[in-house]
Amino acid sequence: MTRFRRLIARFDDFSGLRSLRWLPILVVFAAMAVPPSADAATRRRAGVYDGTWNVVFATTRGNCSSGYSVPFTVIGSRVSSAGGGRVSGSVSRAGAVAVNVSVGASRASGGGRLVGSYGAGAWRGIITGDRCSGTWQATRS
């Protein structure tokens, strides 16, 4: 009990203006202890190019069909499939994009640039056994 009384006596010494000088330091420690909100964390991870992109492919070399479109999803710096097939890739903060696509035995890779809600680039691959290449254009929906 004696020990408890000594602690209370020490708190009495912090009365008045002397204890207020510690207030800014306590506020800083309290702010550091509070975790950031989920909304702030989501905004930090969200990328400029996030969303679903409709990509239209045109063949310029080879015997592959032309004009087919595929939806891709961009979240942060990752590119993935928004439909069928396996899609992996990345997009930089500056909009440089690199993607690999595979559907069954067909495989293709491409690169280009996204600007705002538009993108364009080139691709090449082996589609149903034929070597082909071409261009692509994308719009964000």
pLDDT at 10: 53
pLDDT at 132: 96
Q: CB-based burial of residue 62 (10 Å sphere; 0-12 exposed, 13-18 middle, 19+ buried)?
A: middle
pLDDT at 68: 82
**Angstrom distance (rounded) from CA 140 to CA 97:** 14
pLDDT at 1: 55
**Angstrom distance (rounded) from CA 126 to CA 108:** 6
User: Which 3 state secondary structure label does DSSP give 83?
Assistant: coil
pLDDT at 123: 97
Nearest of 81, 130, 123, 80 to residue 105 by alpha carbon: 130
- Asked if residue 73 lies in contact with residue 80, where contact means CB atoms within 8 angstroms, the answer is yes
- Provide the residue-wise pLDDT of the chain in tens; the chain has 141 residues: 555 455 455 545 545 545 444 434 433 343 443 444 444 444 445 689 999 999 999 999 999 888 888 899 999 999 999 987 889 999 999 999 999 999 888 999 999 999 999 999 999 999 989 999 999 999 998
Q: What is the DSSP letter of 76?
A: T
pLDDT at 3: 55
pLDDT at 89: 96
- What pTM does this model have? 0.66
What six digits make up the tokens of 39?
A: 């909304």
